[in-house]
Amino acid sequence: MDVTIIIPTHNQNKELLSKIENTISKQKFDGKVKVIKVAGMGLADSLNHGIKNSKTELVVSLHQDCIPSSDYWLKNLIEPLKEKEVVASVSKVELPKEFFEKFGFLAKIFSIKEQKILTPLMDEKGCAYKKESIEKAGFFDGKTFRTAGEDFDMYLKLSKLGKIAYPKAKVYHYHKHTFKNRLKKELQLSEGFGALVRKYGRQMPGWYKGLIKSIPIAGWPFFLLNFPYTRMFFGGIAWIFLSLVVNLIYFVGFWKGFLTGRQRV
């Protein structure tokens, strides 16, 4: 089985990208592997461009800051797609501890929840798809989503077409976090969720929770309680105040996404 790996790039770290390509070249995979790097587009549009230009039945999305954790990553990720009913396969994601330790104090507070192996429903950091399933789903929605929300939108569309697998495959996420870009990320995610609720209405899982979270002060407990206080004591004290700020950011982002019907930050 041949496969095309699509890597959307934007202000990429050339050294990190070189490591990713080197890791891909060492994969123990029975099939040809082609890499398509796409620059100058939004995330959804970059993925669509790569998928449309691929010549293989299977395609993989890999973020420019994610490195496969082993030489068998691709083999393990692709294996479930041999089953007829499986339409996509999702990698686990880990923020390496040695990388996390280089973050500033405030960035660590926002990133501490990622200091474990995560199993996302689908987030494109390391996902494999049957190309025909992406085509049936209408591709990624680049008109509605620019940098957030397009992954969950695709998850919902693919879930209607078949099963999504979560095999023993993992990528290391080397995204350098700062306090400033974490605040922007909170705005992106909340705007994306608002746009999703606008698109799907009450069919959107967790829509009511997002609505409550978007209310200043009333939604604060959702953020206040979403912190591993036992793992970062002083960070937890700071989070009591920072979570109020995040609540206000969520208020702005959610309603901007909901009222405009788009995610654009």
The pLDDT of residue 161: 98
What are the E-state strand segments in the chain?
A: 3-9, 33-39, 58-62, 66-68, 86-90, 92-94, 126-130, 163-165, 170-173
Among 88, 85, 92, 93, smallest CA distance to 164 is for 88
Cα–Cα dist 106/83, whole Å: 44
Q: What is the pLDDT of residues 100-152, one digit of tens each?
A: 999 999 999 999 999 899 999 999 999 999 999 999 999 999 999 999 999 99
Instruction: Give the whole-angstrom CA distance, residue 249 versus residue 186.
Output: 7
> Does pLDDT of 85 surpass 90?
yes
Q: Which residues lie below 8 Å from residue 16, measured CB to CB, with a gap of 6+?
A: 64, 65, 67, 174
Residue 12 pLDDT more than 90? no
> Distance of alpha carbon 71 from its chain centroid, rounded?
22
Does the structural domain 3-173 have CATH classification 3.40.50.620?
Answer: no
pLDDT digits (tens, 9 = 90+) for 26-74: 999 999 999 999 998 989 999 999 999 999 999 999 999 999 999 999 9
Strand partners, 165: 89
pLDDT score for 131: 98
| pLDDT at residue 1 tops 90 | no
Q: pTM here?
A: 0.94
Span 201-247, pLDDT tens digits: 999 999 999 999 999 999 999 999 999 999 999 999 999 999 999 99
On the question of pLDDT at 162 being above 90, the answer is yes
**pLDDT of 128:** 98
Domain ranges of the chain: 3-173, 179-260
pLDDT of res. 11: 85
Q: Residue 212: its pLDDT value, please?
A: 98
